[in-house]
């Protein structure tokens, strides 16, 4: 438990400050939860601003600080601390930022710098934590840890995570592509093997080509016979015309006749062979029909092949996505372990690939009000400034259980957390009503 050595607020007085006409808070618990309650518009926020204007300096003073009902156009805030110091800020219409005086327990006067010695970087207004840039917020959070190498280690983990993310991306695309291939309707047909039919078709086509060659050869022989017949006719005509050379012509005629008879014999042999040749045309048509039928069946298999290929691709992609996701999850677990071991007091803290803080894996902007308050107060407590005071203007997101948790946390770490709530909730509150604030009767003595 933290040593009880922090500085807290003991009393607060305010006159004509924003909505407050008058406030006299004579009793403030030393540590724990200080509830500021009242209706909307009663002046709760003005009370917290009054404290902030005294403790936080001129930078915490908003315009038009003086209440418009002030008769002399002046306002004043005085805060008494448990270390005996009193801080007073006076406002006029001409000096909207006011004049600050710091008086020590011995009556000595001090400057604003004295208050600055007690303040931590983010201890006074924890919700201001969310107003800084993400990279600056990351520096603040990492600075709360006890490991000087944590930032370097987390940078290395983020670089490796980005590498795994980039490696996983094409597999995720492959998953989407594979899932987009539809499963064909109906029953999957069995594939048909046409290799033997293709071989038989080749044999038949070769026979057909030989038969065509034989037909052309027979035609050539027919032309040759016709030419021989023409020659005979010319010879006969010449015999008639040349009686003087009859013997020679008869001899030539006889020779031609013999040639003709020989050719006629050859023609008869060839015609007989042609007429008795094996007919393959019908079988070619049958084989071609069977191949066409097989092609049609196999064509119906193409969608199934694409589907099978897609399923194989999907299985491979899913395996790789799971592998890389597990690796990324291990890196995140390592990141969480390093943050926990470094002592950063923010449960569920991690960082995205750009180094911006995440809370339970989500950007801080989408965290609930209770989560943001819990984180902000935890960071303020870890900063452990000399002036251990936090101001929560919007604490309505916290239920009673969370309020009690916040009280115990503040008491454990010697802090004083002022929280504005709508409505009265019980003893020990600072009640703000119609521009006036007062302390409820204490239920315990101030520590």
Architecture of domain 9-119+385-439: 3-Layer(aba) Sandwich (3.40)
Of 121-130, 138-147, 166-175, which has the strongest mean pLDDT?
Answer: 166-175
Q: What is the mean pLDDT of residues 351-365?
A: 85
Mean pLDDT score of the chain, rounded to an integer? 83
Q: What is the mean pLDDT of residues 122-133?
A: 69
Helix locations, 342-399, DSSP H: 369-383
Tokens of 27: 């009793």
pLDDT, position 124:
62
Residue 309, helix vs strand vs coil: helix
DSSP 101: E
Q: What is the mean pLDDT of residues 223-243?
A: 79
Does position 326 have pLDDT exceeding 90, yes or no? yes
Please choose, from the candidates 52, 33, 41, the residue with its C-alpha nearest in 3D space to the C-alpha of residue 425.
33
Does position 108 have pLDDT exceeding 60, yes or no? yes
Measured CA to CA, the distance from residue 39 to residue 42 in angstroms comes to 5
Give the lowest-confidence range in 75-84, 168-177, 249-258, 291-300. 249-258
Task: Check if the beta carbon of residue 301 is closer than 8 Å to that of residue 190.
Answer: no
Q: If pLDDT is split at 50, 70 and 90, which confidence band does 1 have?
A: very low
Tokens of 353: 């690939």
Q: If pLDDT is split at 50, 70 and 90, which confidence band does 311 have?
A: very high
Q: If you write DSSP's letter for every residue of 67-90 in order, what string do you get?
A: -TT-SSSEEEEEEEETTS-EEEEE
For the chain, the C-alpha Rg in angstroms (whole number) is 53
**Sequence-separated (6 or more) residues with CB below 8 Å from residue 414:** 2, 3, 4, 5, 6, 31, 388
Given phi > 0 = left and psi -120 to 50 = alpha, else beta, which region is 31? Answer: beta
pLDDT, position 327:
92
Instruction: Match 């983990």 to its residue by tokens.
Output: 157
Task: Check if the beta carbon of residue 33 is closer than 8 Å to that of residue 432.
Answer: no
pLDDT, position 122:
45
Query: Which long-range contacts (C-beta less than 8 Å, at least 24 apart) are formed by 441-447?
Result: 441/27, 442/27, 442/29, 444/29, 446/10, 446/27, 446/28, 446/29, 446/30, 447/4, 447/29, 447/30, 447/31
pLDDT, position 218:
86
pLDDT, position 98:
84
Instruction: Match 């042999």 to its residue by tokens.
Output: 269
What digits encode the pLDDT tens for the residues 51-92?
A: 988 887 777 777 778 888 888 888 899 999 998 999 999 988
pLDDT, position 102:
92
Tokens of 384: 């452990």
Does position 49 have pLDDT exceeding 70, yes or no? yes
pLDDT, position 194:
85
Tokens of 179: 């899932």
pLDDT, position 444:
44
- Beta strands 389-392 and 416-422, pairing class: parallel
What digits encode the pLDDT tens for the residues 179-225?
A: 998 988 888 888 888 889 889 888 888 888 888 888 888 888 888 88
Our CA angle for 179, 182, 184, nearest 5°, is 145
The residues pairing with 24 across neighbouring beta strands, listed in sequence order, are: 13, 438
Please choose, from the candidates 144, 140, 87, the residue with its C-alpha nearest in 3D space to the C-alpha of residue 116.
87
* 174/5: higher pLDDT: 174
Q: Flag whether the pTM goes above 0.75.
A: no
Q: If pLDDT is split at 50, 70 and 90, which confidence band does 428 have?
A: low
Instruction: Match 């080509």 to its residue by tokens.
Output: 209
Instruction: Match 């007429």 to its residue by tokens.
Output: 275
Q: If pLDDT is split at 50, 70 and 90, which confidence band does 330 have?
A: very high
Sheet holding 416-422, edge to edge: 109-110, 99-103, 86-92, 74-81, 9-17, 20-25, 436-439, 430-433, 32-38, 416-422, 389-392
* 183/382: higher pLDDT: 183
Instruction: Match 């020990």 to its residue by tokens.
Output: 428
Query: Which long-range contacts (C-beta less than 8 Å, at least 24 apart) are formed by 410-413?
Result: 410/31, 410/32, 410/33, 410/377, 410/381, 411/31, 411/32, 412/1, 412/2, 413/1, 413/2, 413/381, 413/384, 413/388
């Amino acid at each position: 438990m933290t040593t009880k050595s922090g500085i807290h607020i003991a009393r607060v007085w305010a006159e004509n400050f924003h909505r407050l006409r008058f406030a006299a808070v004579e009793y403030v618990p030393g540590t724990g939860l200080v509830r500021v309650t009242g209706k909307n518009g009663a002046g709760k926020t003005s009370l917290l601003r009054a404290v902030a204007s005294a403790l936080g300096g001129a930078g915490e003073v908003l315009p038009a600080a003086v209440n418009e009902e002030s008769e002399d156009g002046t306002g004043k805030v005085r805060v008494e601390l448990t270390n005996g110091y009193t801080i007073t800020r006076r406002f006029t219409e001409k000096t909207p930022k006011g004049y600050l005086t710091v008086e020590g327990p011995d009556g000595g006067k001090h400057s604003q710098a004295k208050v600055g010695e007690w303040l931590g970087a983010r201890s006074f207004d924890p919700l201001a934590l969310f107003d800084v840039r993400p990279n600056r917020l990351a520096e603040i959070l990492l600075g709360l840890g006890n490991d000087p190498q944590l930032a370097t280690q987390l940078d290395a983990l983020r670089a490796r995570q980005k590498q795994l993310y980039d490696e996983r991306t094409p597999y995720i695309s492959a998953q989407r592509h594979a899932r987009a291939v539809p499963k064909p309707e109906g029953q999957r047909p069995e594939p048909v093997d046409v290799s033997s039919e293709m071989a038989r078709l080749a044999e038949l086509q070769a026979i057909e080509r030989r038969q065509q060659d034989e037909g052309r050869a027979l035609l050539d022989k027919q032309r040759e016979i016709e030419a021989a017949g023409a020659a005979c006719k010319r010879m006969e005509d010449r015999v008639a015309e040349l009686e003087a050379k009859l013997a020679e012509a008869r001899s030539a005629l006889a020779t031609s006749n013999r040639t003709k008879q020989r050719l006629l014999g050859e023609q008869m042999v060839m015609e007989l062979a042609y007429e008795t040749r094996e007919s393959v045309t019908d079988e070619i048509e049958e084989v071609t029909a069977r191949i066409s039928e097989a092609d049609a069946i196999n064509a119906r298999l193409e969608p199934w092949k694409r589907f099978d290929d897609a399923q194989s691709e999907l299985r491979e992609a899913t395996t790789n996505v799971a592998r890389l996701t597990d690796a990324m999850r291990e890196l995140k677990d390592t990141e969480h372990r390093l943050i926990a071991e470094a002592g950063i007091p923010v449960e569920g803290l991690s960082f995205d690939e750009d180094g911006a803080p995440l809370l339970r894996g989500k950007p801080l902007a989408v965290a609930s009000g209770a989560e943001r308050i819990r984180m902000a107060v935890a960071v303020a407590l870890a900063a452990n400034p000399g002036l251990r005071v936090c101001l929560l203007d919007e604490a309505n997101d916290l239920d009673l259980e969370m309020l009690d948790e916040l009280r115990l946390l503040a008491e454990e770490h010697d802090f004083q957390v002022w929280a504005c709530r709508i409505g009265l909730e019980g003893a020990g509150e600072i009640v703000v009503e119609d521009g006036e604030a007062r302390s409820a009767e204490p239920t315990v003595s101030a520590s």
